[in-house]
Amino acid sequence: MLMLNQTDLTPASFILNGIPGLEDVHMWISFPFCSMYAVAVVGNCGLLYLIRYEDSLHRTMYYFLAMLSLTDLVMCTTTIPKALCIFWFHLKEISFNECLVQMFFIYTSTGMESGVLMLMALDRYVAICYPLRYSTILTNPVIAKVGLATFLRVVLLVIPLTFIIKRLPYCRGNILHHTYCDHMSVAKLSCGNIKVNVIYGLMVALLIGGFDILCITISYTMILRAVVSLSSADARQKAFSTCTAHICAIIFSYSPAFFCFFSHRFGGHTIPPSCHIIVANIYLLLPPTMNPIVYGVKTKQIRDCVIRIFSSSKDIKSHSI
């Protein structure tokens, strides 16, 4: 039964129903979710460990990568454990305040993901277009300032989102057909006017995602112009290779994000709800899973550090025997 506060019609809790239409296979769906989450946690923690303790990785590019790894850990940990509880133990209830907190961390982490990818694009632009001034332009204080500015931008835009959700009266039940507290899914349970929620949600998406995509596009346009102008084919290949991992990270992050954004607005009646929710979870799980793998494979310095650590551990074991 829906428990309502008599004064403001605020539900005491919501019921997260998981993936509608696929309740019978929730257990099977949980296995890839759990596997990807385990890879994400191990991979990103491993990257953070390497960047913290390997002197060769104390460089601008890897500081941004550390920001990305930390953001990825928050992003998947905010949602996947709760989804697994729904799939495995049918623990579907979430209190209203917990729902708001989860919503805040989801949108803060996804906004930070976009912002850090934008900063990494600017880092590649400076490294390729101004290689001699790279170390003087992107100093440690500058990195700290742009990282803090990106974080504050996201937080200041996301906080009002939670307040405009909290102000709504809820009288259409408390069942959410989702694995986490999505802004518009919660708003649609309200019997009040949600026009402000729709407009503000779109504005946040444009101010964060739209601005970041614009900056990434401009950065890579300038990078492409600079690389094409190089006379040596080897120099062009080397310049492009430094961007490969970042381009993969952009694809993993923005592809499901674009699908979610456009399908909600233009394909709502043709795409099954289960597809929407699966892709929404992939959006929060794919980048944290794939980013450490891509950077581990494509970045020589990280690859060399991992090989050196495993080689030294083997030597220790052989000496002990």
Query: In order along the chain (321 residues), what is the average pLDDT of each group of 10 residues?
Result: 53 94 95 97 97 93 97 97 96 96 97 98 95 94 97 98 93 93 93 92 94 97 92 85 93 92 69 90 96 94 89 67 60
User: pLDDT at position 2, please?
Assistant: 45
Closest CA to 160 of 248, 100, 82: 100
Q: Angle 26-53/273-298 helices, nearest 10 degrees?
A: 30
Residues comprising the chain, all counted? 321
Q: Tokens 């799980």 label which residue? A: 285
User: pLDDT at position 266, please?
Assistant: 66
Pick the CATH number of 14-299 from 1.20.1070.10, 1.10.510.10, 3.30.450.40, 3.90.1150.10: 1.20.1070.10
State how far Cα 176 lies from the chain centre. Answer: 22
Please enumerate, as own/partner, the contacts of 89-97 that have beta carbons within 8 Å and a separation of 24 or more: 92/15, 92/16, 92/17, 92/18, 93/13, 93/14, 93/15, 93/16, 94/13, 94/14, 94/15, 94/16, 94/181, 95/12, 95/13, 95/14, 96/10, 96/11, 96/12, 96/13, 96/14
H-state helical runs in the chain: 26-53, 60-89, 96-129, 134-137, 140-166, 183-187, 195-205, 211-228, 233-241, 244-266, 273-298, 300-320
Asked whether the whole model's pTM tops 0.85, one would answer yes
User: pLDDT at position 3, please?
Assistant: 46
User: pLDDT at position 14, please?
Assistant: 96
The torsion defined by the Cα of 139, 141, 146 and 149, in degrees rounded to 10, comes to 180
User: pLDDT at position 259, please?
Assistant: 87
User: pLDDT at position 6, please?
Assistant: 39
Closest CA to 301 of 45, 42, 61: 61
User: pLDDT at position 245, please?
Assistant: 94
User: pLDDT at position 169, please?
Assistant: 93
Instruction: Tell me the C-alpha distance between 183 and 160, whole Å.
Output: 12
Indicate the SS3 state at residue 69. Answer: helix
Question: Phi and psi for 175 in degrees, rounded to 5?
Answer: -95, 120
Residue 292, judged by CB atoms within 10 A of its CB (0-12, 13-18, 19+), counts as buried
